Structure 1
Amino acid sequence: MKVLDLQCRLGHRFEGWFGSQSDYDAQRERGLITCPVCNESEITKLLSAPRLNLGHGAAPEPTPDQGAPATSAGSPARRPADAAAASPTLPDVAPETLQQMQAAMMKMVRHVMANTEDVGTQFAEEARKIHYGERQARHIRGQATQEETEALIDEGIDVMALPVPENLKGPLQ
């Protein structure tokens, strides 16, 4: 099993698990690897330190002239400074902060997906029926064109666009 650190062209970092390097290459060439945050398919592999299990027991203590190890057993490896600067589209934000923001966004999207009914392309029609009392009030989601969205807003119906990654549009597990 190969675990790779990946990043989309918008700077979202995520982890991918593959059977081998050739599996990763084949899936990437076919456009099957997409960012779980924005669904972008332009993906690059980041530099990462391999984790090798060569034996059991504790790591050897460094000698005074060797210095401390770069990582410890419980902490993640640090990325080179170049990896963080690879995306010029992102503001200068710590990777930990970006990961927290991505996690919060995914949590919010999952909450919406789990607590709303998908009405598909009938969203504008169903939103109107709920707004005018023709249907029981409930939380819905679906697709609407820009024109339909603007018309709903003009009628005083509150709507909000929510980008949902493709991998969350199917049934939740």
Structure 2
Amino acid sequence: MIRYALTCADGHRFESWFQSASAFDTLLKSGHVSCSLCGNRDVSKALMAPSVATDRPEGSGAPAPDEGSENAAAPAGRPL
């Protein structure tokens, strides 16, 4: 499954899930993808930031203790 951020020609932004990238392309070409707000079928993918896992605690904007220094030692049990 893949989630896309989508935009219609009227500027509405929405998200939808698809079985695969090729499934999205097939559905779009056949007219089966439409705006969830107005029904417009002129839909395109919008820029979407990926979700990336980190070792930082959630909500922390500060770098992890070993970041920011090239000479910092790796914590015990953590590979370089």
The bucket for the TM-score relative to the shorter chain is 0.5 to 0.7
More strand by share: 2
What whole-Å deviation, never above 9, does each CA across 1:39-97 have from its counterpart, x for those lacking one? 000001011122245xxx733717347xxxxxxxxxxxxxxxxxxxxxxxxxxxxxxxx
Structure 1 residue matching 2:38: 3-state secondary structure: coil
**Structure 1 stretches of 5 or more lacking a match?**
66-173
TM-score by length of structure 1 reads: 0.32
Q: Matched residues in 1 for 2:29 and 2:12: separation?
A: 19
Greater relative contact order structure (CA < 8 Å, 6+ sep) = 2
The residue aligned with 1:9 is 9
- TM-score normalised per structure 2: 0.66
1:29 matched to 2:29: yes
Structure index of larger Rg: 1
Alignment partners' CA distance in 2, 1:64 and 1:20: 38
C-alpha distance 52-64 of structure 1, shift in aligned 2 (>3 A) = closer
- Sequence identity percentage: 35
